[in-house]
């Protein structure tokens, strides 16, 4: 911790020591009684030296060590900043069109809401089928968009790399603040 054992311990120092003691207890280096005794002394400690004494007979543990063998790793692709970028650079394609994840989510939402409304209608005595006024038009609009190939967010899917800024009438020049292009 600190080089001078007489320095007063902060709450963060006590918490760090308690975390280390928990790790040692979990690893089996401390039994329950000894762990509880040291934990009580940790929160009663006034100086950094007292905290160091509680850990002096235990091996050091790096709390910030990341597991390196337990996680599957893919080779890094130059220029890719994410897992999706790596997949795209490797040639993997995402489904698009009518079977895209967006459409699967939209149809799943419609189906889930429809099922809940039908269950409520069934439990309320199966009178007038009021749920049809909700699921019918919603399903019809989604079906029409699905058949015509529109994206479920309400418009055509935007082409990568294009943005509304590229279609400005004054060729995308910077605005000077008064509304006129430079």
**Tens of pLDDT, residues 10-63:** 898 899 899 889 988 888 889 999 999 999 999 999 998 898 898 888 887 766
Which of 128-137, 144-153, 158-167 has the highest mean predicted lDDT (pLDDT)?
128-137
Residue 89 in any domain: the answer is no
Do 58 and 120 lie in one domain? The reply is no
What would the DSSP string read from start to end of 127-173? Answer: -S-TTHHHHHHHHHHHHHHHHHT--TTSSPPPPTT--GGGG-TTTTP
**Tens of pLDDT, residues 133-147:** 999 999 999 888 888
Residue 110 in any domain: the answer is yes
Q: Considering only residues 5 and 75, tell me which one the structure prediction assigns the higher pLDDT.
A: 5
Do 59 and 20 lie in one domain? The reply is yes
- Single out the residue in 50, 68, 86 at which a domain terminates: 68
Residue 23 in any domain: the answer is yes
Q: Can you give the residue range of the structural domain that contains 139?
A: 97-148
Residue 29 in any domain: the answer is yes
pLDDT band at 102 (very low <50, low <70, confident <90, very high): confident
Q: Count how many domains the chain has.
A: 2
């Amino acid at each position: 911790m600190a080089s001078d054992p007489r320095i007063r311990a902060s709450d963060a120092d006590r918490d760090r020591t308690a975390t280390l003691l928990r790790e040692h207890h979990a690893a089996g280096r401390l039994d329950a009684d000894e762990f509880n005794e040291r934990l009580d002394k940790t929160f009663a400690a006034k100086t950094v030296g007292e905290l160091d004494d509680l850990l002096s007979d235990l091996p050091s543990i790096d709390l910030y060590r990341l597991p390196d063998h337990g996680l599957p790793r893919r080779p890094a692709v130059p220029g890719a900043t994410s897992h999706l970028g790596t997949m795209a650079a490797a040639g993997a394609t995402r489904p698009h069109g009518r079977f895209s994840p967006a459409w699967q989510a939209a149809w799943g939402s419609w189906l889930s809401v429809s099922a809940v409304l039908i269950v409520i209608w069934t439990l309320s005595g199966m009178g007038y089928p009021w749920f049809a006024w909700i699921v019918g038009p919603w399903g019809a609009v989604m079906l029409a968009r699905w058949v015509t190939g529109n994206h479920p967010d309400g418009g055509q899917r935007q082409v990568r790399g294009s943005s509304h800024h590229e279609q400005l009438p004054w060729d995308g020049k910077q605005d000077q603040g008064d509304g006129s292009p430079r």
